[in-house]
Structure 1
Amino acid sequence: MTVTAPPEPSTQAPAAGLSRRQVQAVAGCYFVASFAALGLPPYLTAILPGLGDPHGRWAGLLYIVPTVFSALGALLWGRLGDRFGRKRLLLRAQLGLSVSFLLAGLADSLWAFTLALVLQGFLGGTFAATNGYLAAALEGPGLSKALTLMQGGARAALVAAPILVGALSPWLSPHRQYVVMALLPLTAAVLLTRLPEPGRLVSVPPKRSTGTPSSALWALYGAEFAFVFATIVSFPYLIALVEQRVPGLNSTVAGLLFALPHLCYLLLASRVHTAVLHRPRAGLALGFVLVAAGLAGHAPAHSVAAFALTRLVLGLGMTLGLVCLAVLAAAAAHGRAPGQMFGTLELASKGGAVAAGAVAALVNSAFGPGAPVLIGTAAALTAALCCALRSRSLPRSAPSPSNPGSR
């Protein structure tokens, strides 16, 4: 039978869905929140000498501190969102980022700065909070399209933010830019107050869910972990690899090579979503294969053209995989408490990122900057094989709701 989800504690009546403009507003707020979180960490080696670490030795560890604590807090905040309202928890995440950025910008010691990064991770978690908010209002293709748009916001921030931070550096140090960046999530929080508290119908029989089986849910978490690991493991030392293979290369060109996969996502994600909407399992397996091919191509690359080609192949695989994971996540969210599910998915994603960073550091130290891409190739091939052999263990694509929330 169909029952109404428990009412959320809110002063506003729950919304049956979100309009396209409202979804775009949520995506814009997520982009704004991601801007500082993704744009400033690459400049840690420039920030730390002023905080008592003259050689920036702690940069690698501090780079993953927010990710670790975001993973630790994701499930807690997701459950609280299901209990107290997704809009409240999304506002909390934006305000938490604003406070932590302010503390980071005002920190005058390494320990104070580290504490601010811990708070950034634990109090932030805008990705899980945003997805939980959307999943409480949308279903099926409307939700998967919105999740694809959220990933686009992250990719756009990843491309644009480091460029802007670098451009502002002659006038304002990256360390003090944290203070300015604190205004961005604060502005996003103000804008989000104008959006409704979402609510939707959840189809469940008495004492039993018709949603995705728990085994399929765990398969989704495993695929998320593997995909994030396979793609992220090549990121930390890519610039060093390019400069080693193409000596004297302009830093701007190296940065563009780094950004190419993310630009692919921005250009192709919408079309890919339409293409894979009803076959996300096959699309995910193909995405892993293309990621493996793209990463393997880094090994023989010794020219800008060769690197550009292999980065484009990686970008196609990354786009296909991320979009298919969004479609599968939308299917898994059907009939479930979205906060807890997306909190766990965020835990898997951040866990993959942390593992990738740690493995990349270890193999780079032992074998050089070419080793992480080979590890990523092996991981992607293994995951592709698992997807091919056990594709039925993943969630089925969700059917279109009879009254879609996205209008």
Structure 2
Amino acid sequence: MKTQAPAAHADAAPAPAGLAKRQVHAVAGCYFVASFAALGLPPYLTAILPGLGDPHGRWAGLLYIVPTVFSALGAPLWGHLADRFGRKRLLLRAQLGLSVSFLLAGLANSLPAFALALVLQGFLGGTFAATNGYLAAALEGPGLSRALTLMQGAARAALVAAPILVGALSPFLSPHRQYVVMAVLPLAAAALLARLPEPRRAEASPGAPAATEAEHATEQPPTGLRALYLYEFAFVFATIISFPYLIALVEQRIPGLNGTVAGALFALPHLVYLLTAARVHTAVLNRPRAALALGFTLVAVGLAAHGPAHSTLAFVLARLVLGAGMTLGLVSLSVLAADAARGRAPGRMFGTLELISKGGAVAAGALAALVNSAFGADATVLVGTAAALATAALSLLSRTRWSH
């Protein structure tokens, strides 16, 4: 009893619920583990599907987005249940849901069974909303935005590392059966998360509810949350639309380029985030709206630079600029999301935010397929450029709506 009270009092300012830094890092590690299989195995769908009765992998494009679609559909529900029944409980549910769905995917011996496992992966997973809702119930302000930035870093690290490891294991174990091995990862994450505390709302202390509501009334007008959702959708759409056909574009512009180099070019913006996000967070903490507009602008410039790129150096420069814009945008959105979560039910808010984010990803993937089919791979980056420029202009014009 004596050991808990001083700790809670000491952490009251940065983390009202007493969540220590090492606990935040543990949550980030679990998020990385959960993201590993979800991000590492889908690029190998064209190698998995022939063994399930689809010799030419024609269903790969659709199956690629199935988990995303059902994750988006389930996120608001799971977020609402987290607010009602406990964030830790629903975070554990998400990890266990991933473990079950990965196991079913790895054991599936037909295309319908595999597709059903991917549906369950999306619907039963939802670790993004569950993790962020857990953190938002324990942290607020800069502490929360720093934690959200760290979670984005965990996802970026998984996006870079997971496909490499899956490819390295492929000569020994097929990507399909690797799902069975990957099922152990979220199970281990659940075991670790079970040792963490159930976060308490910051409003639990006497006098906190009134202060939080007053602060919300002055700092977060009703349009603030709608604007956050709009910018989240636009940012995900603008950055992801170039992903599916980037390797094809690079190989088209630089024939004979080594596959490892092409993969490194794909990963470069995510590496920029990993190397700079913490410092960028400190720089944009007090000016996230201006930083978001700059982020959209740099994303537009970086994507536009893919058009005239016909050398490895030109692609490196374009990807670096895109990485700078991606980092500014993602960190700024984390700061704005932390601000918007103040005084709101975090599970529901982050569940809706995941719905919006996944919706942007699905829209980007669908439009990328149509644009690539009609005009070629280079047209996808032009669409991303136009979307980023339009949103940058909108964010500058509507900054007064964000103001207090």
CA contact (8 A) 2:134 2:199 kept: yes
CA contact (8 A) 2:239 2:384 kept: yes
- The answer to whether residue 302 in structure 2 is matched with residue 302 in structure 1 is no
Paired positions, count: 383
CA contact (8 A) 2:139 2:202 kept: no
Q: Deviations over 1:216-243 (max 9, x none)?
A: 1010000000000000000000000000
CA contact (8 A) 2:137 2:202 kept: no
CA contact (8 A) 1:90 1:130 kept: yes
- The answer to whether residue 384 in structure 2 is matched with residue 383 in structure 1 is no
Partner residue, 1:254: 262
- The answer to whether residue 336 in structure 2 is matched with residue 336 in structure 1 is no
Q: For residue 292 of structure 2, what is the amino acid of its counterpart?
A: L
Distance 1:316 1:218, change over 3 A: same
Instruction: Provide the C-alpha distance between the structure 2 equivalents of 1:110 and 1:119, rounded to a whole number of angstroms.
Output: 14
- The answer to whether residue 283 in structure 2 is matched with residue 275 in structure 1 is yes
**Matches of residues 21-170 of structure 1 in structure 2 within 5 Å?**
21-170=22-171
Q: For residue 119 of structure 1, what is the amino acid of its counterpart?
A: L
CA contact (8 A) 2:212 2:342 kept: no
Instruction: Provide the C-alpha distance between the structure 2 equivalents of 1:15 and 1:385, rounded to a whole number of angstroms.
Output: 37
- The answer to whether residue 202 in structure 2 is matched with residue 201 in structure 1 is yes
Structure with higher helix content:
2
Unaligned 5+ runs, structure 1: 1-13, 397-407
Instruction: Provide the C-alpha distance between the structure 1 equivalents of 2:386 and 2:125, rounded to a whole number of angstroms.
Output: 32
Instruction: Provide the C-alpha distance between the structure 2 equivalents of 1:342 and 1:395, rounded to a whole number of angstroms.
Output: 22
Instruction: Provide the C-alpha distance between the structure 2 equivalents of 1:325 and 1:306, rounded to a whole number of angstroms.
Output: 29
Q: For residue 45 of structure 1, what is the amino acid of its counterpart?
A: T
Q: For residue 176 of structure 2, what is the amino acid of its counterpart?
A: H
CA contact (8 A) 2:138 2:202 kept: no
Q: How much identity, in percent, do the aligned residues show? A: 79
CA contact (8 A) 2:75 2:129 kept: yes
Partner residue, 1:10: none
Unaligned 5+ runs, structure 2: 1-14
Partner residue, 2:357: 349
**Matches of residues 171-250 of structure 1 in structure 2 within 5 Å?**
171-202=172-203, 203-205=208-210, 210-211=215-216, 212-250=220-258
Q: Deviations over 1:240-269 (max 9, x none)?
A: 000000000000000000000000000000
Partner residue, 2:300: 292
- The answer to whether residue 356 in structure 2 is matched with residue 369 in structure 1 is no
Instruction: Provide the C-alpha distance between the structure 2 equivalents of 1:381 and 1:311, rounded to a whole number of angstroms.
Output: 17
Instruction: Provide the C-alpha distance between the structure 2 equivalents of 1:260 and 1:233, rounded to a whole number of angstroms.
Output: 16
Instruction: Provide the C-alpha distance between the structure 2 equivalents of 1:366 and 1:379, rounded to a whole number of angstroms.
Output: 19
Shift of 1:15: 8.0
Instruction: Provide the C-alpha distance between the structure 2 equivalents of 1:253 and 1:395, rounded to a whole number of angstroms.
Output: 44
Q: For residue 153 of structure 1, what is the amino acid of its counterpart?
A: A
Instruction: Provide the C-alpha distance between the structure 1 equivalents of 2:403 and 2:143, rounded to a whole number of angstroms.
Output: 17
Shift of 1:210: 4.5
**Matches of residues 384-399 of structure 1 in structure 2 within 5 Å?**
384-394=392-402
Q: For residue 325 of structure 1, what is the amino acid of its counterpart?
A: L
Distance 1:86 1:209, change over 3 A: farther
Q: Deviations over 1:92-113 (max 9, x none)?
A: 0000000000000000000000
Secondary structure (helix, strand or coil) at the match of 1:306 reads helix
Q: For residue 102 of structure 1, what is the amino acid of its counterpart?
A: L
Partner residue, 1:312: 320
Secondary structure (helix, strand or coil) at the match of 1:53 reads coil
Instruction: Provide the C-alpha distance between the structure 1 equivalents of 2:37 and 2:378, rounded to a whole number of angstroms.
Output: 29
CA contact (8 A) 2:52 2:110 kept: yes
Instruction: Provide the C-alpha distance between the structure 2 equivalents of 1:207 and 1:317, rounded to a whole number of angstroms.
Output: 32
Instruction: Provide the C-alpha distance between the structure 2 equivalents of 1:17 and 1:376, rounded to a whole number of angstroms.
Output: 41
Q: How high is the TM-score relative to the length of structure 2?
A: 0.93
Distance 1:355 1:395, change over 3 A: farther
Shift of 1:209: 6.5
Partner residue, 1:9: none
CA contact (8 A) 1:87 1:197 kept: yes
- Alignment RMSD: 1.5
CA contact (8 A) 1:331 1:395 kept: no
Shift of 1:16: 1.9
CA contact (8 A) 1:217 1:395 kept: no
